[in-house]
Amino acid sequence: MTFAMLLAGCGGGSGGVGSTPTPPSAEIPTPIATPAPTPPATPTPAPTPSATNYDTAEYRATVGAVSMNALTAYSRGATGAGVSIGIIDSGIDLQSEEFSGRLSSASADVAGNTGFDDEDGHGTAVAFTAAGRRNGAGTHGVAFEATVVALRADRPGTCATAVEGDDSTGCKFGSDAIARGVDAARAAGAKVINMSLGGTNMPTSLQNAIARATAAGIVIVISAGNDGTENPDAFTEVANNAAIARGQIIVAGSIGSGDAISSFSDRAGTGAAHYLTAVGERVRAPDETGSVFLWSGTSFAAPQIAGAVALLAQAFPNLSGAQIVQILYASARDAGASGVDPVYGNGVLDLSRAFQPLGTSNVAGSTAAVSMAVNATLSAPMGDARQGGLGAVILDGYDRAFAIDLAQTIDRAAPPRALLGALQFRGRQVAAAIGGTSVSMTLAPRIGGSVAVEPTRLTGRDAGMARAIAGTVTQALGSTLSFGFGIAQGAGTLTAQLTGRREPAFLVATTPGFGIDGTARASSAIRREFGRFGLTAAVESGRMTTRGRDGAPGTDPYLRGGFGRAALSLDRRWGPLALHLTGSGLDERDTLLGARFGTGLGATRATSWFADLDARVEAGDGWTLGGSLRRGWSGARVRHGIDGTGLVRTAAFAADLGKDGVFGADSIGLRIAQPLRVTTGGIDFRLPTLWDYATTSVATWTTQRLNLAPDGREIDVEARYARPFGPGTVQTNVFWRRDPGNIAALPADYGLAVRYGFGF
């Protein structure tokens, strides 16, 4: 049996049909606006710049394209070219130039008319809304370079009976003809079929045709209806049948300005899971005579969505029909109640989000997950290292290829806070020495009353007198052998204790030492004397800490990665001169010189080798002169299927002059230092730069460098003064830092610290 279907959504009236066996007739409502001014016979196209500018007056007048942010798609080269849109309607104006060269030869009449030339205007207006040409005049369709498969399905003679104001007259569509149209569109290779139709429950013959289309991967868009009811037309119920729809049927509701649901539009209701809204009010489009009108109805929301499907299908040829629908739903602007709701369903069509990566993204050709925000946080030794582009192709959760500049996702560490770390300690130091054993612990109260082990910050005088450092135990084994271990203390500090090395108490201009923002958890060392020489072996474990400039709210802004360090130090004293030569290896499990790289940049880790030379002269009369020099070489190891190699060279130095007893029992000193800084080097990544959808593989790999040498060079100058006062000691430090954190753009940093400490 053949049922009749009515065009839905042409105006403000009902788009449904009664349940009687005899098909009623209805008028196609008159468009709601007078014809727009007739353009010149030969319109002058807008000037075309060398790089196509799609943000034109024509685009801005196309209300549907603007609402869905189609400019995002156009700027990526998506215009619908090569994609066919099936329009099952009242035919198309064969005299129109709007579809010149883009009207498929498969276009046909499927209902027994004399041809598929439009008699009514509705089919032409719907086709224009989906795919009208872009020519610099008036408006254009969403997918303005798509191919139209026009399939005329109105019963012969019915369109000619339309009487204004009489809904029983007008175009009627038999379900058998619509089914033939669906099959014809499928045979023609259409990627999407638009059905701006409505009526009673869909008969089995048409459901079977739709099932064949969805099995072929075709997306079908059906208008919701214009009754303003809580549920879409019964004709759309097929979208809820998973066996037929296969997740590829979209029910189109209408919105107007400000994303407000149109008063005439049927709401999402029972079809909410498959319902999507687009502009269906005052859509400018020509009729069968070429006269331009403003049309309203869900009939004109549907082709907006069909055009969007065509844009996605062209831009991402790997997508199945079901995936395109999922993307449109997932990227829709939320409207009404949060989430999928009974008015707006999935929300409002939005291509700005649909053309952005969705789900987990990986660097193409690898297993490396990539972030759209931050893929690396450089450390202070890398400062303001400038980057060229690091172009790469990534695949999102739908295996869509996107170009990304990874250099734009590299953050920089915040410059170290000069005095905060040195002054924030509060605790009690406990030390004891018995024979050849020295024990030092620092106890700090915690919230809740418990006690924690914390690092000790001793003055040079305290360290020289007690030779004790917090969280350490040292033991002399005879006259030439000693060992020690530390808790929350580094191997360098422990080595200094075993060798009796004394360092002046500077807060900011520190010695090169470790030179990276890391926290030791445990260390141990053993020292053996060979005459006037001493040899110390030490090991250490801990965690790197790199702080990004902009920690996300509610998250820990510090990025941590484990490290292990081993060092071998040779010391020799010649009277007042003490020399220390140290070679060390640093193995970072998740970082490179403290910089943290996400998997999008290979989760780079590193092994570094450092050579350190320290010298100090006790010049007599309280004068001391000291200096330190560090050179480092770091080899980067790139992982997660991304190829890359890197060698980074680093350097640091410090020099100081001091005098004890300037005015009695006081002490004064001056130091200039350069913290650890990358001098040359970077990482050469082999990144994918071209993706082949035909082979689903990377077509081109390009080697690109990530530079890690900064322009800025931090120089620290610090003066200190200390003298006894009452039961304790007053200590004053004044500092000046140029290019803090090796960032040239930052102003010089300076500060003053006054401390008072005493033993108890």
List the catalytic residues.
Answer: 89, 122, 299
Task: Report the candidate in 63, 53, 54, 67 with the shortest Cα–Cα distance to residue 351.
Answer: 67
User: Within 10 A of 67 (CB to CB), how many other CB atoms are there?
Assistant: 22
CA atoms of 685 and 703, how far apart (whole Å): 5
Residue that has been written with the tokens 């880790």 in this structure: 605
Structure tokens at 20: 């009687």
Write the single-letter amino acid at 670: L
The answer to whether 132 touches 306, Cβ cutoff 8 Å, is no
φ and ψ at 608, to 5 degrees?
-120, 150
The answer to whether 546 touches 379, Cβ cutoff 8 Å, is yes
Which residues lie across from 194 on neighbouring strands? 87, 221
What is the pairing mode between strands 172-174 and 4-7?
antiparallel
Structure tokens at 461: 């005088």
* Three-state secondary structure call for residue 254: strand
The answer to whether 740 touches 751, Cβ cutoff 8 Å, is no
Exposure string (b/e) for 78-107, b if CB count within 10 Å is 16 or more?
A: bbbeebbbbbbbbbbbeebebbeebbbebb
The answer to whether 440 touches 466, Cβ cutoff 8 Å, is yes
CA distances from 89 to 123, 127, 146, 288, 634 (A): 5, 9, 17, 12, 68
Q: Which residues contact 71 (CB under 8 A, 6 or more apart)?
A: 54, 55, 59, 65
DSSP state of 346: T
Cα angle: 75, vertex 78, 84; to 5 degrees: 160
Q: Which residues contact 480 (CB under 8 A, 6 or more apart)?
A: 528, 529, 530
Write the single-letter amino acid at 228: G
